[in-house]
A = this chain, B = another copy of it.
Amino acid sequence: MNEFALIERFFADPAAHEPPPSWLRLGIGDDAALLAEENGWETAITCDTLVEGRHFLAGTDPEALGWKALAVNLSDLAAMGAVPTGFLLALTLPEADEPWLTAFARGLFACARRHGARLVGGDTTRGPRALTITALGRVPAGEAILRSGARAGDDLWVSGQPGRAALGLAVRLGALPSTLPGAREWIDALDRPEPRLALGCRLRGLAHAMLDVSDGLLGDLRHLLERSAPPFLTAEIEVARLPLDPLVAGGAPPERARAALLSGGDDYELLFTAAPESRDQILLLGRELGLPLSRIGRLVPATAHPMVLIEPDGRRTLPEVLGYDHFCACKEYP
């Protein structure tokens, strides 16, 4: 049973068959919930927990952790097209370690300041090291980009360079040499992910569906497909269009680079779909933001398989690894 099944099975709202309250625009199941503000805006709200030993290694640099804990939550807002406002921090620590707290706060507030998010509340308690951040944002009413809006014929796009964080983790765990030319960049991507907030906002009105890649490109693509309306969709990914070259140029063995790009978690790039008519506009937007945007495939009416890889030689293959599940740990690095 995976994380999503857990939530859906046990926490299906028993009031779901009743009319939703007027303040609730979108509940469980997307990157964030949407609450109506009745003033032309909606509040986007999301929370994520990071547990030591699962989402970060024991001994992780606390400054990097502070940054990342907030960044991953802001990434969920980016995936809705929302602008961050405030956040709450629930911090559980084995002891009140002052140097640790100082460094953690430095990283946290660096990310907060960079992205305009304000700490508005929280809780501190003793226990096994873990933290939950609840992030709030705003999006013009009706303009949030949901997971559920994908259509047959849409192009499939991904921002930036997915795969770097997984390679960075492999370097940190000693599975790849730290002397590789890409090692520093990969570790930076792992430690200080950049939520794609500017991109998310600018894709309002352009993207039909969007989510952020936290569990691996294929795993999160599956979540997007599962949310699409009947008669459902299949994603065809053109391997030749994947941004593999920069990873290989950084020294990653090609097979490892491919696995990292398709299945490595923790990159927090945006995966989105859009009409083919929007291609030029999207490429222009990427250039404007200085962020490569790769058109990696398209969505077609559902076939026997939800995802198909079209290899450079034209063969069609099925992906094997479907992304990282934080609850089941279906996959382990290295």
Contact = CB atoms under 8 A, between A and B. Distances in A.
B120 A33 contact: yes
Interface stretch (A42-50, A198-206, A301-309): A42-50
A90 B132 contact: yes
A118 B37 contact: no
A260 interface: no
Interface stretch (A2-10, A166-174, A310-318): A2-10
Contacts of A33: 86, 88, 120-121
A10 B102 contact: yes
Given A13-B118, A113-B15, A120-B24, A128 B126 contact: no
Interface string A97-113: 00001101100110011
Contacts of A89: 11
A326 B35 contact: no
Contacts of A333: none
B113 A14 contact: yes
B47 A121 contact: yes
Contacts of A53: 127
Nearest to A102: B10
Interface in A1-47: 1, 3, 6-7, 9-11, 13-15, 20-21, 23-24, 27-28, 32-33, 35, 37-39, 41, 43, 45-47
A123 interface: yes
Contacts of A14: 109, 113
Contacts of A134: 45, 47, 88, 134
Copies of this chain: 2
Contacts of A278: none
A21 B92 contact: no
Nearest to A25: B120
Contacts of A121: 27-28, 32-33, 45-47
A92 B92 CA distance: 12
A54 B128 CA distance: 11
Contacts of A48: 90, 123
Interface string A165-199: 00000000000000000000000000000000000
Contact of A47 (B15, B39, B90): B90
Interface string A70-104: 00000000000000011011101000100001101
Contact of A7 (B7, B41, B122, B126): B122
A266 to B, nearest CB: 14
A126 B47 contact: no
Contacts of A52: 127
Contacts of A101: 6, 9-10
Contacts of A130: 92, 127-128, 130
A-B pairs, top 8 by smallest CB distance, nearest first, are: A51-B127, A33-B120, A132-B132, A128-B128, A134-B134, A90-B132, A33-B121, A10-B101
Interface of A: 1, 3, 6-7, 9-11, 13-15, 20-21, 23-24, 27-28, 32-33, 35, 37-39, 41, 43, 45-49, 51-55, 85-86, 88-90, 92, 96, 101-102, 104-105, 108-109, 112-113, 118-128, 130, 132, 134, 136, 138, 326-329
